[in-house]
Chain A
């Protein structure tokens, strides 16, 4: 798959802080590319440089093999994390305003259907709910029928149902062959939507690959969870790698059968036991040593 974006040796410094520190990566055409990291990791600065909003101190960003320029601005759709629209214009007028700024326009009626805007199409933008505004901002990001769409924490603050609906929209964008660059704090979102993940911390890339690859490379064991009420900690064999939480104990093991056998030998009640694979939250903890923070 050809690369739509190629990033080489990108650096950005603010005063004494190096927000982005000599990073290089590529974004292939037609995938959903997830950029993950805690606050201060440098992901927002990276995305804003990719969007052409901020200029890098050093390094290069190529779009279709050329430096970011007018062509990129015409073919990119951007949904910022914190942005509003002009007051006192309706949703339809906002769509039309932004459509008029581009030489190529998506089918507005189709966009209204895709983003489910018809119910509040004639409402002023400053009277929309959080979920409605996010859908409008997504529609505006798509109004020029872009080749690449940037979504910066698009579901922050949305309720679970609104988040699910938003995921469906992103899936539909992807199905049309568009490239999506997504930053998010939600690991379940990254797992569901992203084909490729790039983890950042302290301005550097700490891991990248598909979610499956990353998990397989990082973990070879599974986790057994047992409620604390069902055992005495002294009952656990000393060879177990156990971690005690508020209400349960987690045991990491490469062999579930053997671990279960040993637990049964200790006469531990396994009725409420849960066995799970490692997820992206575990991966993040493993890579950075700290929780994802919003």
Chain B
């Protein structure tokens, strides 16, 4: 059986690496995207002031808490929010229980808000100084872009290929050999995992060299996140491809998976402050957990325990989706 697995794995790897245009696109597209973003947002600064308010449920009434053009975020974890102020992800944090406010003196937005706050009636808060470097948008976006590239590679590189194999008779031909469905599917998974990890590493190294992107955490942990993320996405793709032989239908189904993840998985913007239902909905997507965990490692130097919930979701979803895919798979 292992001989069968290796034979199919080898063939699939050759098929992918020899398709030069596709390979180039897989590497170049995300790299160009990161470079483009770094240029477009080199002077960064999203256009809103973000103010964290702790506790989330409070009865305080004040003019400063009802200003226009502000985004007020309900804060549950004061410590976590303070770190965000230090990294310029929050412009100001109000602790209404201890009557403190936190600003980062190196953040222009924080300075602006402080001027408004001290001149507003109704709130009498003490200043707490927080220091820390700004997180560039490119550093913030990179984990999401790597995750997004992984998503495209895994979903289209496995599901679409299997549907094409079924349509043009390759699967039928393989069915007529002693090759088992398990050997065939596991070879597809292994091949795509190997190739998507290689491409992700190339893109990461490229951005590190050319854009000096931030990495504060463990590389091993980051690799674990991407491996589990890739496995989860490949399994999702396998499940989609278990029956159909229509490339049009497969394309439609894949887009149905891709676009909600693109928008709701925190690749391009944070979902903090979004409707709670939307935030909960985003948790069903594997890409959300890849992006969240990778960002936590790369920017916040998160450890294994901190990202364990994301890892568990990715591992469990992989097992469930793979089991369903194996159950529903048909050669024809």
**Bound Cα distance from A255 to B172, whole angstroms:** 53
Given A89-B14, A97-B8, A101-B178, verify A84-B19 contact (CB < 8 Å).
no
**Looking at the complex, which one of A76, A86, A88 makes contact with B176 (CB distance below 8 Å)?**
A76
In whole angstroms, what is the CA distance A258 to B152 when docked? Answer: 81
Q: Is the CB of A93 within 8 A of B176?
A: no
B15–A88 touching, CB < 8 Å: yes
Given contacts A74-B178, A97-B8, contact A86 B172 (CB under 8 A): no
- Report Cα–Cα, A100/B18, bound state, in Å: 21
Give the docked Cα–Cα distance between A78 and B178 (Å). Answer: 12
B71 within 8 A of A: no
CB distance from A235 to the nearest CB of B (A): 57
Chain A contact residues: over half helix, strand or loop, or mixed? loop
> At the interface, yes or no: A82 with Cβ under 8 Å from chain B?
yes
Least CB distance from A268 to B in Å reads: 55
Question: B129 an interface residue at 8 Å Cβ cutoff?
Answer: no
**A83, A86, A87, A103: which has the most chain B beta carbons within 10 Å?**
A86
Whether A52 is near chain B, meaning CB under 8 Å from some CB there, is: yes
Interface string of B3-25 (1 = CB under 8 A from A): 11011101110111011000000
Whether B18 pairs with A73 at a CB distance below 8 angstroms is no
Say whether A73 contacts B170, CB under 8 Å. Answer: no
Chain A residues numbered 95-131 whose CB sits less than 8 Å from any CB in chain B: 96-98, 100-103, 124
Distance of A209 Cα from B178 Cα, bound (Å): 33
- Complex CA gap A101/B187 in Å reads 13
CB neighbours of A98 from chain B (8 A): 177
B243 within 8 A of A: no
Task: Report the nearest A residue to B11, measured CB to CB.
Answer: A97
Tell whether B173 is near chain A: CB-to-CB under 8 Å: yes
Contact of A84 among B4, B7, B170, B178 (CB under 8 A): B170
Query: Taking the complex as formed, is B223 at the interface, i.e. its CB lies under 8 A from any CB of chain A?
Result: no
15 A-B pairs whose Cβ atoms sit less than 8 Å apart in the complex: A70-B178, A73-B177, A73-B178, A80-B169, A80-B176, A84-B168, A84-B169, A86-B11, A86-B170, A87-B15, A88-B15, A88-B18, A89-B15, A93-B14, A102-B177
